[in-house]
Amino acid sequence: MIGKTHQGCIGLGVLALALLCGHADAALVAQWNFDDNTYNDQVGSLHGTANGATSIVAAGNNQLGNDMGKALQTGATAGTDYLETGDLNTLGNTGDYTVTAWLKHSTVGAAVSPEWWDTDVSGTGGAGGGFLGTIRRNDGTGNTALVYANHRDTTSGALKLLKPSPRVDDGLWHFIAITYTPGGAFNSSIYLDGVLSGDHELGTFTLSMTDGGKIMRLGDGFDGMIDDVRVYSHALEGALDGNNTLISGELYDVWHAMVPEPAALALAVAGASVLLVRRK
């Protein structure tokens, strides 16, 4: 028979587990964080295949002071150095979505725009749908090293551009988040380091992020590091302060990595149990 003290410990442990996991989002449909030294999708089955100069390396701390664990690093050769994760159509997500990632890059040249995300590999130059995330190359337009996110309409092939500032070619980690809701006004937003750069008018946009046959590439010629890439099946939200910086909500939690690591969770439950025993 379990004694009252043990019953209390178990109950408190379960409560701690529930509280600590309260921010876990059921809408998370894919995630690559590389902390297990693999290219595997930690949520689903879109496991990655490394191509060219691609590896998993120690990531160091981000600008929030959090240890990033391991990260993906790819070389600078576009079309050769990337992680392929398969067809996003298997996610079955044709409506709202959110894409988040951490990026670290040091030098942007004039030849190509380093790509951190590409599901538009077969749609370039025409209708085909897809989503392309890059850091803008040095083309003399004043947009050098800004994060770009291109949505390509599956009907017309037209590109809809989102971009936040400031520059991100400083060798530091930067958090990027893009949300999208089909149709309506101002239905896509882009955030950099928790700051909303603006709500963007994409109108009635026929894009499906998973439009048939689009393979997914991370870090194609990126020449930098990418970590904790996530795909959500709805447009995450967050509360903003007067400076358009996230202060709470789903996006804030992702930015600050609010979901505890297993080790931290176990420590919290153990600590709660010990506290209860002492109070008995």
What digits encode the pLDDT tens for the residues 126-166?
445 567 888 988 888 888 898 888 776 656 666 666 778 78
Q: Is 96's pLDDT higher than 70?
A: yes
What digits encode the pLDDT tens for the residues 114-123?
999 987 655 4
Global pTM reads: 0.80
In a domain, 3, yes or no: no
pLDDT score of 213: 57
Domain with residue 56: its CATH number is 2.60.120.200
Look at 106 and 3; give whichever has higher pLDDT: 106
In a domain, 46, yes or no: no
In a domain, 196, yes or no: yes
The total of structural domains in the chain comes to 1
CA angle centred on 110, ends 56 and 54, rounded to 5°: 15
In a domain, 270, yes or no: no
In a domain, 188, yes or no: yes
In a domain, 80, yes or no: yes
Query: Which residues neighbour 50 within 8 Å (Cβ) at sequence distance 6 or greater?
Result: 39, 83
In a domain, 187, yes or no: yes
